[in-house]
Amino acid sequence: MEVEAYRRLFPLAFLERHLRESVRPDARRPAEARPTTVALAAVSSAHGSALVRLGDTAMLASIKLEVMSPSGEAPDEGSIAVEFHMPPICSPLVRPGRPAEVAPVISKNLEDILMSSGMLNLKELCLISGKASWLAYLDVYCLNADGSLFDAALISAVAAFTHLEIPLVSVGDDGRVFTVGGNEGKAKYELVNREKRKLTITNVPFSLTCALHKDNVLADPTAEEESIIETSVTIVLDSSDQIVSIQKPGGAVTSMTTIKECISLAKDRRRKLREILMDNVEAMEVDQTD
């Protein structure tokens, strides 16, 4: 029987045959994540954006800022709204006119992690206390779905907020707050904020999803591996390696030893992702000064 035919007919046996040799079908070791790239400023019309590739999984994150009236409970804070999109082009499993079931789950998990990690200080999104603040719309588009969607979505969201630049604004005679662009606008209007600025990003969260099969822990599973293995766990850590979240959507009972192994892999992965992101931020700063 040809290899590809055997792979399609007996996917679990095919995977286990590789795991007995401590290798996966894509030639990675069990604990090895796929190559990851980050490209900042991927959308020129957005206030912050990033394109992330995690193996063959691709995510595009875009942030648009709008002026809003702050809530009475938090008059000196802005807010964020997160939406995760899975268009039919990203996977043959997504049908036109039928939203992917996983999309709203990832949307909520992304927003929960961004807020609970302490990465964002919403007070920095305030313009005029009690009158005006920024609402940051974060849209994450899955361009290609090949496993570990939440991990890739979180990387792209973090990168987009890292790239985000708060625009200049002014207040009109009618009390309306509006954005100001260009040097001509700076000279013409009285500005609320004197210069464009970045947000202060702290406690940056990164995640690692592990597929669990018997005694094997497979870091950063592909879509093929996820379709075969029922049990997975996603570990989210902040900049201090503190656990922000552990997500295990069903599957078999998992031992604490296995969870600890996943956490250890997540710590290594967090450090590597931070290096990748910081390298891109520094490269962009160099390009802007040249």
* Region of poorest pLDDT, from 119-133, 154-168, 186-200: 186-200
pLDDT at 187 (0 to 100):
46
**pLDDT of 195:** 60
**Tokens standing for residue 188:** 């013409």
Pick the range with the lowest mean pLDDT from 43-57, 117-131, 165-179.
165-179
Asked whether residue 226 carries a pLDDT value surpassing 50, the answer given is yes
The pLDDT of residue 87: 93
pLDDT score, position 191? 54
The Cα 167–Cα 193 span in angstroms is 8
User: Tokens 């588009």 sit at which residue?
Assistant: 141
CA distance 238 to 202: 9
Residue 185 is predicted with a pLDDT of: 46
pLDDT at position 95: 85
- Confidence at residue 167, expressed as pLDDT on a 0 to 100 scale: 81
What was the pLDDT predicted at 184?
A: 45
Q: Which amino acid is at 270?
A: R
How much is the average pLDDT of 211-235? 95
Give the residue-averaged pLDDT of 272-282. 94
What would the pLDDT profile of 80-135 be if each residue is shown by its tens digit?
A: 999 999 999 999 888 887 778 899 999 999 999 999 999 999 999 988 888 888 99
Q: What percent of the chain has pLDDT over 90?
A: 67
Is the pLDDT reported for residue 252 higher than 70? yes
Q: Say which residue the tokens 């001509």 belong to.
A: 184
Match 């938090």 to its residue by tokens. 74
Q: What is the mean pLDDT of residues 21-48?
A: 95
- The CB density around residue 101, as the number of other CB atoms within 10 Å, is 9
Contacts of 290 (CB under 8 A, 6+ apart): none
> Is domain 26-164+199-288 given the CATH code 3.30.230.70 in the classification?
yes
Distance CA 150, CA 170 (A): 38
Whether 158 has a pLDDT exceeding 90, the answer reads: yes
- Count the alpha carbons within 13 Å of 114 in the hemisphere toward its beta carbon: 29
For the ranges 143-152, 176-185, 227-236, the lowest mean pLDDT is seen at 176-185
What is the average pLDDT score of the chain? Answer: 89
Region 238-261: mean pLDDT is 92
* For residue 151, pLDDT beyond 70: yes
Coil, strand, or helix at residue 121? Answer: coil
Q: Which residue has the higher pLDDT, 23 or 128?
A: 23
Over pLDDT 70: what percentage of the chain?
89
